[in-house]
Structure 1
Amino acid sequence: MSSIKKVQITFDCEEPLLVARFWAEALGYVIPEPPEGFASWEEFDGARPADFRGPAWGACADPTGEGPRLYFQRVPEGKVVKNRVHLDVRAGTGLVGEERLAALEAEAVRLIALGAVRGQLLLADGVNESCQNMQDLEGNEFCLD
């Protein structure tokens, strides 16, 4: 029997630190401390050679160590198609009907204030419960479920 492995979920993006900070706030995650000797990631970046300035990556992690680490890497091309993998943010777990819709709406409003964009609301259909499609700061799709 194989052992359970921890996973990291990686996002390609244009502004890694900006997107990492969005997801840290959205999920209650934390941004790791900068390398020793630096007070901030911006200070660390400023100390790098000019050709390498601008954050090439960012990350955030579950402070309890339970959830996966999210890693954001800068890539030159923009997003052009739908995600093949997306996150489901479990905002309405165990709730049904109007109570679930209210929980999804409250979370959508909170995330919109952080820069997310609301997508289509999919209403319960007798098989699946309601969920709210969303996009992060760079258009990566995710669901409030």
Structure 2
Amino acid sequence: MIGSIDEVVVDCQNPAALADFWALILGGTPVHRSADWSYVDPPRWTRLAFQRVPEVKQVKNRLHLDVLVKDVAQAADEAVALGAVKVGALHSDGPGTFQVLLDPEGNEWCVVRPNT
């Protein structure tokens, strides 16, 4: 083993706004260290940090977060009320149910509920 995850960092245009959004989704208190760097420490997970970059997001994420919820449809609606955008329909199959969403800067993520 080389090391362990210290934090997950998201490049963005508005670090404070994304830290505020993700704190509402995952819990924790957003910390705005500077205009270029904010983060949130969600309960039971690693730090999620946001750093300002000059370019805007242009393509689909190569990595995304799956947020475990009790009710996918309800969680997706609550996320939309906080500024997320639904992408496509609710998906349900053998492994479980999920809804793809975009955060306020267009980063893809999902609310998920596995079938157990």
Q: TM-score range by the shorter chain?
A: 0.7 to 0.9
Runs ≥4 residues deviating over 4 A: none
Q: Which residue does the alignment assign to 1:73?
A: 51
What CA distance in whole angstroms lies between the structure 2 residues aligned with 1:112 and 1:12? 21
Tell me, yes or no, if structure 1 residue 141 matches structure 2 residue 95.
no
What CA distance in whole angstroms lies between the structure 1 residues aligned with 2:67 and 2:75? 9
Higher helix share: 1
What CA distance in whole angstroms lies between the structure 2 residues aligned with 1:18 and 1:108? 19
TM-score in terms of structure 2 length? 0.86
Q: Which residue does the alignment assign to 1:7?
A: 6
Q: Which residue does the alignment assign to 2:92?
A: 124
Note the C-alpha offset of 1:109: 1.2
Q: Structure 2 counterpart of 1:87, which letter?
A: L
Query: Taking structure 1 as reference, are residues 125 and 20 closer, same or farther at Cα in structure 2, changes over 3 Å only?
Result: same
- CA RMSD across the alignment: 2.0
Q: Runs of 5+ in structure 2 lacking a partner? A: none
Note the C-alpha offset of 1:123: 2.7
Contact 2:8 2:47 in 1 (8 A): yes
Query: Taking structure 1 as reference, are residues 15 and 122 closer, same or farther at Cα in structure 2, changes over 3 Å only?
Result: same
Note the C-alpha offset of 1:133: 0.3
TM-score in terms of structure 1 length? 0.70
Contact 1:121 1:131 in 2 (8 A): no
Higher strand share: 2
Q: Runs of 5+ in structure 1 lacking a partner? A: 33-40, 46-54, 93-102
How far does the alpha carbon of each residue in 1:36-61 deviate from its partner, in whole angstroms, 9 at most, with x for none?
Answer: xxxxx5xx86xxxxxxxxx1111000
How many residue pairs match? The answer is: 112
Q: Which residue does the alignment assign to 1:61?
A: 41
Contact 2:73 2:90 in 1 (8 A): no
Note the C-alpha offset of 1:85: 0.6
Note the C-alpha offset of 1:122: 4.5
What CA distance in whole angstroms lies between the structure 2 residues aligned with 1:75 and 1:4? 26
Q: Structure 2 counterpart of 1:144, which letter?
A: V
Identity %: 38
Q: Structure 2 counterpart of 1:67, which letter?
A: W
Rg larger for: 1
What CA distance in whole angstroms lies between the structure 1 residues aligned with 2:84 and 2:90? 17
